[in-house]
Amino acid sequence: MVNITLPIDDNIYLKMKKFSKIEWSEFVKKVIERRLMELENVKYEFFADEDILAENWLSKEDNEAWKNL
b (16+ CB within 10 A) / e for 20-51 = eeeeeeeeeeeeeeeeeeeeeeeeeeeeeeee
Q: DSSP class of residue 46?
A: S
Residues of the chain with pLDDT > 90, as a percent, come to 46
* Confidence category of residue 41, pLDDT binned at 50, 70, 90: confident
Residue 47 has pLDDT above 70, yes or no: no
Q: What are the residue boundaries of the structural domains of the chain, listed by start?
A: 20-66
CA–CA gap between residue 37 and residue 20 (Å, rounded): 28
pLDDT at 17: 94
